[in-house]
A and B are shown apart, each in its own frame.
Chain A
Amino acid sequence: MESDIILRVNGREWPLRVDTRTTLLDALRERLGVTSPKKGCDHGQCGACTVLLDGRRINGCLVLAVACDGSEVVTAEGLGTDGELHPVQQAFVDHDGFQCGYCTPGQVCSAVGMLEEVAAGWPSAAGRPVADTPVLDDAEIRERMSGNLCRCGAYANIVTAVRAAKEVSR
């Protein structure tokens, strides 16, 4: 069964007819050629498909495209502006926050969404009392980024990159 939807992806509007079974991840990759969100596990366990949906980080593999009708989607391609990398992307380059790069677009989108969450004062399970205002130390970065796996094990530099990106965005 098919359904007509409109997705706004990286600032551009796409009218689409999708099979209702299509996930947002598959619609982006297979229909729109937006291939930075990666299909890792396809079960919401690895975070490689992370995109920003209406400004919030989510797993593109676990949301149906049809349920995103009218929504704004930003992927790693859409983060920078006119040849300039987003500060989080630049930090990943500067601090070597990847090895093979497969998880990187998801890591970057996740970090962008996560830094917004910290700026909004959202707590985490890293150990500080939940009523307190969060302070983004390394333990917090690790906890908040735990939904993004890196099979190369580049975590040490990912933490450094995210820390650096936070300081740039201050």
Chain B
Amino acid sequence: MNPFDYRRAEDAAGAVATVAADPRAMFLGGGTNLVDHLKLGIVDPDLLVDVTRLLPDGVEPLPDGGVRIGAGMRNSDLAADPLIRRRYPVLSQALLSGASGQLRNAATTGGNLLQRTRCVYFQDVTMACNKRRPGSGCSAFGGYTRYHAILGASEHCIATHPSDMAVALSALDATVVVQGTDGERRVAMTELHRLPGDAPERDTVLRHGDLITAVELPDLPFAARSRYRKVRDRASYAFALVSVAAAVDLSDGVIREARIALGGVAHKPWRATRAEAELRGARPTEETLRAAAEAELAEARPVEGNEFKPTLARNTLVATLRDLVEEERTR
């Protein structure tokens, strides 16, 4: 690990100016991913700007009925927040299904969004990786692909985004509040992360020096009955092979609205707009749910080693929707 300077930032504008002015400076949040990357040699900053003490770290209700989550809020605090548990249980469930108690106590909301893929080739500096070293190639093809993408990938990268929280935020139509050198701007959660295309080194649309300061959730009454379902190789403390975040607005036996996102299948949280369109206005029969899942996975392209994932994703999506519909019926 090369030497780096450490500075505790006093205010967001100052932190942004400092990092923006130095291409080798990075923000430090809870450190659960970044400190590991320092050890692995994946990053080599000359300055870490610690933003944990300046970022807001609570949940506050907004006048329009939504809520604002401070980017410095620790994952465990967010998962335990009474308002989130009651109004957006999918978010609590997603957070609690990720990492361990210790990691959730350290990891922040902003850092969780900006954590990087756990692709084993990305994390091994001796291997070619277009995300870590653009143009060096992708070692995942023909390799260990169990956790790799089946939707929206490219010939340059089949890595997946590892966050559970981001999948729930995507389904909930969250907005990310970003402080940049030109002031504050707002980015839709579904637009924050990119598909790899020919630039897999860029995970998000953010520019160097941009700082996530908050995440806002819209008022979404039917999200009070929402779910996160995660399928993985161990019962706990493992990344998702496939996960589903879903909320369904069901009245008079008809699905009015559905919000669905998939995790573990793409370079970004995969908002399932095709499945949502299939479900809107339909009766929630087993056939309808299955058709919605089929529509979403129609263009899935597994690679050697993860051929099981389209079926797993379809079945997990149907099972999650079935649970939600059942919950609504017995309410």
Given A20-B6, A130-B92: A117 in contact with B102 (beta carbons within 8 A): no
Q: Which residues of B contact A3 (CB under 8 A)?
A: 6
Is B1 in contact with chain A by the CB < 8 A criterion? yes
In the complex, per-residue mask of B281-315: 1 if CB is within 8 Å of any chain A CB, else 0:
00000000000000000000000000000000000
CB distance from A82 to the nearest CB of B (A): 28
Among A19, A58, A113, max chain B CB count under 10 A is at A58
Query: Total interface residues on B, using CB and 8 Å?
Result: 37
Across-interface contacts of A21 in B (CB, < 8 A): 1, 3-4, 38
- Count of A interface residues, CB-CB < 8 Å: 42
B1-18 to A contact mask, C-beta < 8 Å, 1/0: 101111010000000000
CB distance from A146 to the nearest CB of B (A): 4
Interface centre among B28, B30, B102 (most CB of A within 10 A): B102
Q: Is the Cβ of A67 less than 8 Å from the Cβ of B31?
A: yes
- Asked if A130 and B6 sit within 8 Å, CB to CB, the answer is no
Contact string, A118-140, partner B, CB cutoff 8 A, digits 1/0? 00111111000111000000000
Residues on the A chain within 8 Å of B237, using CB = 146-147
Contacts of A124 in B (CB 8 A): 96
Known contacts A125-B97, A129-B89; A62/B31 CB under 8 A: yes
Query: How far, in angstroms, from A145 to B237 measured CA to CA in the complex?
Result: 10
B35 A147 Cβ-Cβ under 8 A: no
Residues of A within 8 A of B103 (CB): 44, 59, 62, 147
Task: Determine whether A66 belongs to the interface, using a CB cutoff of 8 Å to chain B.
Answer: yes
Tell which of A42, A66, A69, A146 touches B100, judged by Cβ atoms closer than 8 Å.
Answer: A146
A67 near B102 (CB under 8 angstroms)?
no
Question: In this assembly, does A86 line the interface, its C-beta being within 8 Å of a C-beta of chain B?
Answer: no
Chain A residues lying within 8 Å of B89, measured Cβ to Cβ, are 129-131
Contact between chains at B105 and A57 (CB < 8 Å): yes
Query: Is B145 among interface residues, defined by CB-CB distance under 8 A?
Result: no
Contacts of A59 in B (CB 8 A): 32, 102-103, 106
The docked-state distance in angstroms from the alpha carbon of A19 to that of B89 is 42
Chain B 32-68, CB-CB to A under 8 Å as 1, else 0, gives 1001101100000000101010000000000000000
Tell me the bound Cα distance from A69 to B102 in angstroms.
19
Q: Do B236 and A142 have beta carbons less than 8 Å apart?
A: yes
- Smallest distance from the beta carbon of A115 to chain B beta carbons, Å? 11
CB distance A66 to B105 under 8 Å? Answer: no
| Residue from B28, B50, B76, B80 with most neighbouring chain A CB atoms (10 Å) | B80
Q: Kindly supply a per-residue 1/0 record for chain A positions 58-70, scoring 1 wherever the CB is within 8 Å of any chain B CB and 0 otherwise.
A: 1101111011010
**Is B85 in contact with A58, judged by CB distance below 8 angstroms?**
no
B190 at the interface (CB under 8 A from A): no
Contacts of A143 in B (CB 8 A): 235-236
Tell yes or no: A43 within 8 A of B by CB.
yes
Q: Is B101 an interface residue (CB 8 A)?
A: yes
Residue from B1, B99, B101 in contact with A114 in the complex, judged by beta carbons closer than 8 Å? B101
Residues of A within 8 A of B316 (CB): none
- For the complex formed, measure the closest distance between the CB of A70 and the CB atoms of chain B, giving whole angstroms: 10
6 A–B pairs (Cβ distance < 8 Å), ordered by A: A56-B76, A56-B105, A66-B6, A117-B76, A143-B236, A146-B100
15 extra interchain contacts, Cβ-Cβ under 8 A, other than A20-B4, A122-B79?
Answer: A3-B6, A20-B5, A42-B39, A61-B35, A62-B31, A62-B103, A64-B28, A64-B31, A66-B6, A113-B105, A123-B79, A146-B237, A147-B99, A147-B101, A147-B102
Which 9 pairs across A and B sit closest by C-beta, in order of nearness?
A147-B100, A146-B236, A125-B96, A146-B237, A130-B92, A122-B80, A20-B6, A56-B105, A131-B85
